[in-house]
Amino acid sequence: MATNTFIERQRSFCALGGALLTATALPDTVPILHASMGCGTSIYFNQIGSTGYLGAGYCGGTATPSSNVGENEIVFGGLDRLREQVTNTLKIVEGKLYIVLTGCMTDIIGDDIQAIVREFRADGAPLIGAETGGFKGDGYRGYDLLLQALFRDFVEPRSEKVKKKVNLWGIVPGQDPFWRGNLGHLGHLLGRLGLQVNTFFNRGAGLDELREAGDAGLNIVASRTYGIEAAQAFEEVHGTPFLSAALPIGPTATEAFLRQVASALAISERKVNGLIAEEARRYYGYIDRIADAYNDLDFQRYAVVVGDANYAPAITRFLANDFGWLPELTVVTDDLPEGRRGSVRADLTDLASGYKTKLVFETDTSEVARLLAEIWPRSNGQRLYDAFSPAFVVGSALDREFALGIGAGHLSVSFPVGNRVVLNRGYTGYEGAMSLIEDLLSVVVAAR
């Protein structure tokens, strides 16, 4: 439930958008919108403009089947139209899984889509449904709602668990423009711990991986905030426990992440120490060769980190703990109710480096400048003024104006990212931290 206020330049999809992006991230999957005629394309426009130019994919974007309900359906109910739409979708569009997703209008009029879904399932159609009306929340909420539906109605029950098999989620397709790379890096690392890892949405993963996910010994949610209810639903339906870990970026956080996973699965200390040592050696092998420039050119920066509840704390921790920067202000832009803020706070209270950041929950873009002015008083004309400089803003495309306004460098990492193109890049783990360093420092040296 939201914090009951308007948002200025919000940084997410609606619930339907999050669910749609999640559905289109699954292989061979066909979403069917039961919504007003404009919802699909509006979401697609946001997708193109905000997620590093992530395209429609197999059957998303303007190809997304949609019942396009109008006044008639809103007055008389939309189920007949939905039944017709599903029937014809199955005839025309090829898929291994079809997912009905509702929008605001059909949720408000109370169309019982599950009744239609049951009809088609009874005939053997691979169809599920989720109620994802936009007013139910943001894109992260839509992701969670769809995951719950997938775990309840698509993942097959397995009573025997495979101890070394894990499912990994918490990195939200589209809402995180770097979801593919981020899932890829973490999946790879966990694989090196000897685990069989399902990431569902990552490139190359097939639908079978999701269908057969029910025998996993552990679910790993790489987020303190997203996909948690889905993990609870999974546990309730399939009996697999879960752990929730902060999104790990860089050696300090990734080491903690690996130890958390290892301890939950009783993986030997020797094995996890070996992996951590090997990864750290590799990471510092690269750092070795940038250390000259870091020190010769004074690469340290004050920083403001603006982003979602995964990225803002994760990047702040990397900058403070590993990279020696000064993230004075961390702004979490999600519309989180008080009850869901605690874990984010906890992750930033005791930083390994002892560095203290100011954490604020603020949804509104233009407020970031005011928040910085509160903690770092503007110059009142004194000749010797301790300026917030040299500075860097790690945020979204919406924070460029703020960054340029304070003379800071800027990198878009968190939604919306309309000024970068993203394919397989990711920022998690050791590998991702190196990409992040490349991207940050390339901005610093761009004018040289």
Partner 1 sequence: MSDIDEKVAPRREDRLGAGCVYGGNACGLKAQFGGCRLRANQRGFGQGSICQLLPGTAMLSTLPNTVVILHGSLGCGGAINLQTSNVRYRQLLGGERNPQGAIWMTSNLDERDVVSGGEDKLEKAILAAERRFRPAAIIVVATCVPGIIGDDIDGVAARLQKQVQARILPIHCEGFKTQIMATAYDAIFHSVSRHLLTREGEKRQAPVIADELEKAREKIRRSRLVNLMNFASMSASEQGELTRLLQALGLTVQVFPCYSDPERFVDATEAVLSISSCPTHDDYFLKHLQEKYGVPYILRHMPIGIAATGDWLRDIARFFHLEKEAEALIAQETKELEEALVPFWANLRGKKALVSAGEVRAFSTAAYLQELGIEIVAVRPYHYDEFGESSLDRLVEKQQDVIVNVATIQPYETLNIFEKTKPDLYMGHIADNVWAAKAGVAVVPIWHGGFSSAGYSGAFDLARRINRVLRNPSFNRHLRENLKQPYREAWFAEDAFKYIQEAVTN
Q: Which of residues 84-143 bind partner 1 (CB under 8 A)?
A: 84-85, 88-89, 91-95, 104-105, 108-109, 133-138
- Helix segments in 109-154, DSSP class H: 113-122, 139-153
Crossing angle of helices 113-122 and 79-92, rounded to 10°: 40
Q: Does 237 help bind partner 1 (rule: CB under 8 A)?
A: no
Least distance CB 368 / partner 1 (angstroms): 12
In the list 21, 23, 69, 100, the residue contacting partner 1 (rule: CB under 8 A) is: 69
DSSP state letter for 357: -
How far apart are the C-alpha atoms of 402 and 391, rounded to whole Å? 12
Q: Would you say 240 or 365 has its CB closer to partner 1?
A: 365
Q: Does 206 help bind partner 1 (rule: CB under 8 A)?
A: no
Among 172, 174, 179, 265, CA closest to 216: 265
Least distance CB 140 / partner 1 (angstroms): 12
Least distance CB 276 / partner 1 (angstroms): 39
Q: Would you say 57 or 251 has its CB closer to partner 1?
A: 57
Spatial neighbors of 194 by CB under 8 A, at least 6 apart, are 164, 267, 271
The answer to whether the beta carbons of residues 34 and 111 sit under 8 Å apart is yes
Q: Does 353 help bind partner 1 (rule: CB under 8 A)?
A: no
Q: For residue 252, how far is the Cα from the chain centroid? A: 21
Binding span for partner 1 by CB under 8 A among 34-42, 143-151, 220-228, 245-253: 34-42
Size of the site for partner 1 (CB under 8 A): 75
In the range 318-347, which residues lie near partner 1 by CB under 8 A?
335
In the list 170, 187, 416, 426, the residue contacting partner 1 (rule: CB under 8 A) is: 416
Q: Does 9 help bind partner 1 (rule: CB under 8 A)?
A: yes
Least distance CB 246 / partner 1 (angstroms): 25
Q: Does 306 help bind partner 1 (rule: CB under 8 A)?
A: no
Beta bridge partners of 68: none
Q: For residue 91, how far is the Cα from the chain centroid? A: 34
- Residue 252 parent element (H or E): helix 250-264
In the list 14, 97, 147, 393, the residue contacting partner 1 (rule: CB under 8 A) is: 14
Q: Would you say 2 or 280 has its CB closer to partner 1?
A: 2
Q: Does 65 help bind partner 1 (rule: CB under 8 A)?
A: yes
Q: Does 443 help bind partner 1 (rule: CB under 8 A)?
A: no
> DSSP letters along 367-435, please?
HHHHHHHHHSPPP-S-SS---S-SEEEEE-GGGHHHHHHTT-EEEE-SSPB-SS--SS---SHHHHHHH
What is the per-residue binding string for partner 1 in 355-394, x denoting contact by CB under 8 A?
-----------x----------------------------
